[in-house]
Amino acid sequence: MDLSFKPVEILKLKKLSQENIATYNRDGFVQPFDVFNTEEMIAYRNYFDGLMARKGADGAYGINCYQARMKGIWEICRHPKILDYVEDIIGPNIICWASHLFSKNAHNSKVVPWHQDASYWKLSPARTVTVWLALDDADEENAAMRFIPGSHNKGCLEETKSTGDTVLNIETKGADKMGTPFSNVMKAGQISLHADMLVHGSLANGSDRRRCALTIRYCPPEVLITDPEWEKSVEAIICRGSDPTGTWKHHEKPINDDVLATTGPLGIID
């Protein structure tokens, strides 16, 4: 597994500036960027609220990797307004291999402990960039995500068992000594982009406001799945360009938009 960070070296940029690229290479993240306007966000928020209500108790965290099963999520993952930013990080060939809706409700006591995403994944090399699309305003009061700047460039860090009311059962050891955390304060409709080895997490939401976001994972096709069993569960989308390696199976746009009707790999209603 190659979990090293490779600095971005793209000269012809669509959305990001060379200063943005330098920030991403140095800190492991860059933000915030205005992508969707108020009217668009009302529509997207209503869409995801409907999915969560339909899914019931599992809705807040359980809409996971449905990018090839739900028509609306498929369309968002391939939205050119998002892909233009992603292309500036990973290049013109873009694979979406995962997505996850996170809704940290008001007075939610659960903590997301410090962790590195790529340490959980069966992918090599570590070249995934995560887009964090804010569906609600996120700030320190309602538990905005937090980053440890520069931690993406330290390789795979030692982990320890997490304690307390946490979403994950392990966490990055000694993260609190790695530097001052950066709060990923965002307005609804904005995105941030962060590297897959960046140490990040979030505190409990003690406020009266929800904090909901869609995360989308993108990588270039040169990234390979290293575990055959893991490969069976990945439902990828070639969002832009092509896959010269021929290793990523592309899923066409599904007809389904009912979150409970995802019995087939493409969410076909049967």
Cβ(82)–Cβ(75) below 8 Å:
no
Asked whether the predicted pLDDT for residue 128 surpasses 80, the reply is yes
Closest CA to 198 of 118, 82, 102: 118
Domain ranges of the chain: 18-240
- Distance from CA of residue 96 to its chain's centroid? 10
Tens-digit pLDDT profile for residues 235-253: 999 999 999 999 999 999 9
pLDDT at 265: 46
pLDDT value of position 243? 96
Q: Compute CA distances 242 → 9, 69, 79, whole Å.
A: 20, 21, 16
pTM for this predicted structure: 0.95
What confidence score (pLDDT) does residue 263 get? 55
CA distance 9 to 226: 26
Whole-angstrom distance, CA of residue 176 vs CA of residue 179:
7
Residue 150 burial by CB count (10 A; 0-12/13-18/19+): exposed, middle or buried?
middle
pLDDT tens digit sequence for 150-209: 999 999 999 999 988 888 888 999 998 999 999 999 999 999 999 999 999 999 999 999
pLDDT digits (tens, 9 = 90+) for 68-113: 999 999 999 999 999 999 999 999 999 999 999 999 999 999 999 9
| Region 14-29 average pLDDT | 98
The answer on pLDDT for 16 being more than 90 is yes
CA angle 263–266–270, rounded 5-degree value: 45
Residue 102, beta-bridge partner list? 213
What local confidence, expressed as pLDDT, does residue 270 receive? 32
Name the nearest CA neighbour of 136 among 229, 214, 54.
Answer: 214
Look over the chain and give the mean of its residue pLDDT values, rounded to a whole number.
Answer: 93
Query: How many Cβ atoms are within 10 Å of 39's Cβ, its own excluded?
Result: 9
Domain 18-240 has CATH 3.30.470.20: no
